[in-house]
């Protein structure tokens, strides 16, 4: 079987598994990432996400993460909402939860799908022994860079290679799957593979899928034919920049996470700066404003997995009920949800900021009850909310 034939079967299988799109690039096709990452970190735009500054040699250079990999299969999984993602913002006594977190944790769903596809790929390629599809064969449009160790992590210039002669020695196919849980620059790889382009909000945008999709990747030792990279199609549009309630974009294509509501409600530990609390509105987990504003969403496709459909109790959950959750109640309520990972204290802190922004005097007593909470950030948020509502 030729590389082209295997790739065609791979694309068909990916769609059958439930992915919305599948493209291929080389691990070394993102030479711009190290400099961009270094500048972002130097500006402090990663905030408290110290892990972003760790393993920079891998995060900036996918070829260093696994030097044996010859191809990166980048896949999109749609989670387009059935309802208006911003409708909950008008219900000030309720919380607004980001679309992706309104049901099951996408990490679990996407990774299982990736593993099934990877197992299929191994069986399909190894079932055609001697076809020359292994990393030794040299099939594919571009040469690999010179060998490098993970410790170095510096990009090397592509080195010319002579394709090896087909060998009668069987070489097992290697694969590794990733979905937002490893130092992999998934969005730049997605653009290099032609899946979409990084828009002015820094998220990946597709002409066929809009903005509502997760990204997963399969690194493999197979030398698959690659796709052309995608060009930028944002033009003069500023919709995603102008809608941001906290002005988190200092410039197009640049995000200061320290002002991003998704970062503030999920990653930020301790009290949020008072200047930003009022701008958070009733967003209690994540923020969809910049994604929802993108005009390319007119091409968004429906999610193929019903487990992404919003739970009724998470479309616009009452703030008073959420504020009353203790640790056990929080864990039970958000079992299987990505919200569970931030813990009760950070979540209730977010809820109290929303209560303070609600303008609803009926919620004053709720805030006052939590003013003595054992967690300092929760107690601080409760006192702030009570003061706001008592004015």
- The catalytic residue positions are 180
Distance CA 27, CA 30 (A): 7
Degrees (nearest 5) of the Cα angle 29, 197, 214? Answer: 95
What does DSSP assign to residue 147? P
Neighbours of 89 (CB within 10 A): 19
Of the candidates 388, 390, 348, which has an alpha carbon nearest to the alpha carbon of residue 370?
Answer: 348
Distance of CA 64 to the CA centre of its chain: 21
3-state helix, strand, coil in the chain (%, to 5): 40, 10, 45
CA distance 89 to 97: 9
219 φ/ψ angles, rounded to the nearest 5 degrees? -85, 135
The DSSP code sequence of 38-73 is HHHHHTTTTTT-GGGGSSHHHHS-HHHH-TT--EEE
Neighbours of 387 (CB within 10 A): 12
Q: How many CA atoms lie within 13 Å of 102's alpha carbon, on the beta-carbon side? A: 27
Q: What is the H or E stretch that residue 105 is in?
A: none
H or E element that contains 25: strand 21-25
Q: Nearest to residue 186, comparing CAs of 303, 292, 57, 76?
A: 76
Burial class for 178, CB neighbours closer than 10 Å (0-12, 13-18, 19+)? buried
């Amino acid at each position: 079987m030729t590389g082209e034939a295997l790739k065609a079967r791979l694309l068909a299988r990916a769609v059958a598994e439930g992915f919305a799109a599948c493209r291929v690039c080389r691990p070394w096709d993102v030479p711009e990432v190290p400099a961009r990452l270094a500048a972002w970190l130097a500006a402090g735009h990663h905030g408290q996400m110290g892990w972003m500054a760790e393993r920079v040699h891998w995060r900036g250079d996918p070829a260093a993460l696994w030097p044996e990999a010859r191809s990166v299969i980048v896949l999109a999984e749609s989670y387009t909402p059935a309802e208006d993602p911003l409708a909950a913002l008008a219900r000030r006594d309720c919380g607004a939860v980001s679309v992706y977190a309104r049901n099951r944790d996408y990490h679990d769903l996407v990774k299982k799908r990736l593993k099934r596809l990877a197992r299929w790929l191994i069986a399909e390629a190894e079932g055609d022994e001697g076809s020359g599809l292994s990393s030794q064969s040299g099939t594919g449009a571009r040469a690999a860079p010179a060998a490098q160790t993970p410790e170095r992590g510096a990009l090397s210039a592509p080195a010319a290679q002579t394709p090896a002669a087909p060998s009668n020695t069987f070489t097992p196919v290697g694969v590794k799957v990733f979905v937002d849980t490893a130092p992999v620059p998934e969005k730049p790889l997605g653009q290099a593979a032609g899946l979409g382009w990084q828009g002015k909000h820094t998220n990946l945008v597709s002409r066929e899928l809009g903005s509502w999709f997760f990204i997963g990747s399969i690194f493999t030792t197979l030398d698959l034919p690659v796709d052309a990279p995608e060009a930028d199609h944002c033009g003069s549009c500023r919709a995603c920049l102008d809608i941001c309630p906290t002005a988190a974009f200092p410039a197009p294509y640049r995000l200061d996470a320290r002002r991003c509501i998704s970062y503030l409600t999920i990653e930020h530990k301790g009290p949020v700066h008072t200047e930003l609390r009022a701008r958070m509105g009733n967003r209690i987990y994540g923020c969809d404003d910049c994604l929802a504003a993108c005009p390319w969403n007119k091409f968004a496709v429906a999610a193929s997995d019903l487990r992404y459909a919003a739970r009724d109790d998470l479309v616009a959950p009452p703030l008073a009920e959420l504020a009353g959750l203790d640790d056990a109640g929080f864990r039970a309520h958000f079992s299987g949800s990505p919200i569970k990972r931030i813990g009760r204290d950070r979540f209730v802190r977010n809820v109290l900021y929303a209560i303070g922004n609600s303008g609803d005097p009926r919620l004053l007593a709720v805030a006052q009850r939590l003013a003595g909470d054992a967690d300092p950030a929760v107690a601080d948020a409760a006192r702030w909310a009570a003061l706001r509502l008592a004015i």
